[in-house]
Amino acid sequence: MKTAVVTDSTAYIPKELREKWGIYMIPLSVIFDHETYREEIDISAEEFYKEVKQRELPSTSMPPIGEFVALFEKLMKEYDAVISIHLSSGISGTFQGAVSAGDMVDGIKVYPFDSEISAMVQGFYALEAAELAEQGVHAEEILERLKEMKRSIRAYFMVDDLSHLQRGGRLSNAQALIGSLLQVKPLLHFQDKKIVPFEKVRTRKKAMNRVVELLAADANSGEEYRAVIIHANREAEALEWKSELESLFPNVEFLLSYFGPVIGTHLGEGSMGLGWYKK
């Protein structure tokens, strides 16, 4: 059985890595003043963070269902199945788009997978699936492995300014929480597919230290982990954090990634996250 792996742009897997593993990418878009830009194609993260300073705040949109249908129809010429891995269905309609498109095409079995997360943590699922697909592992077995990964996947992130998440309506229970959260730097995470505060922490440094404690609680078991530091236009700070973490956790492989235009619209510049899973 030949299985294709599809993910969306919010996994922010660099093009070279996608090409190396044969991962297909379907883009979400940012919309500035009625102009639509497909991220990773029409606008890079670097261009976005420049643009956002000069223009009205953008909005975002999921890929049109027709794009999923067109991609799945193209893939059916070469593959028997598709695993389509997407950002959490609690924050975007993208996963549901893949489900609907899968129902519309005949001739290829489509397995949509809700990562219940986003960014490179979602990318971890796509890379794992691609590696197994290349070995000829059956799509259903690949899905079992992804479900197993879900048990150890963790991700925490912090934003500089909560108003982006509030404006985009992606912070759950926002009305009740926002007043008490604006004075602090809440550490955020996903629960039941939605973004919720994990803990209220007063400063960015304290939030980062708390994430390190959470990683230690898992990784101090000595088992092999893979982690990713994700930043919204804060590469120098992220690199510094990466080298600190590498010296603290020799059993963890650390990658560096970024929040691109779509996720950056909802989190705002300066956001930082750390995600990991047991290899």
Q: Which is nearer to ligand MYR, 28 or 142 (CB)?
A: 28
- 3-state DSSP call for residue 137? coil
Find, among 208, 257, 204, the residue nearest to 235 by Cα: 257
Q: How far is the CB of 191 from ligand MYR (least distance, A)?
A: 13
Residue number with CB closer to ligand MYR (38 or 170): 170
The number of beta carbons lying within 10 Å of the beta carbon of residue 127 is: 22
Question: Distance between CA 28 and CA 168 in Å, rounded?
Answer: 15
Query: Checking DSSP bridges between strand 23-26 and strand 81-86, what pairing results, if any?
Result: unpaired
Contact criterion met (CB below 8 Å) for 198 and 186: yes
Angular region, 233: left φ>0, alpha ψ -120 to 50, beta rest: left
Nearer to ligand MYR, 117 or 132 (CB): 117
Q: How far is the CB of 245 from ligand MYR (least distance, A)?
A: 16
CB of 208 to ligand MYR, least distance (A): 14
Smallest distance, ligand MYR to C-beta of residue 164, A: 9
- Which residue, 27 or 102, has its beta carbon nearer to ligand MYR? 27
CB of 235 to ligand MYR, least distance (A): 17
Question: Which of 164, 155, 75, 82 is closest to 115 using CA atoms?
Answer: 155
- Residue 12 structure tokens: 């922010």
For tokens 């919010």, what's the residue? 10
Interface with ligand MYR (CB under 6 A) = 28, 60-62, 91-94, 117-119, 121, 155, 157, 170, 230, 262-263, 266-267, 273, 275
Work out how close the CB of 30 gets to ligand MYR at its nearest, in angstroms, rounded to a whole number.
9
Residue 30 or 129: the one with the smaller Cβ distance to ligand MYR is 30
Which residue minimizes CB distance to ligand MYR? 92
User: 79 or 124: whose CB is closer to ligand MYR?
Assistant: 124
Whole-Å CA distances, 158 to 149, 222, 225, 257:
23, 27, 22, 15
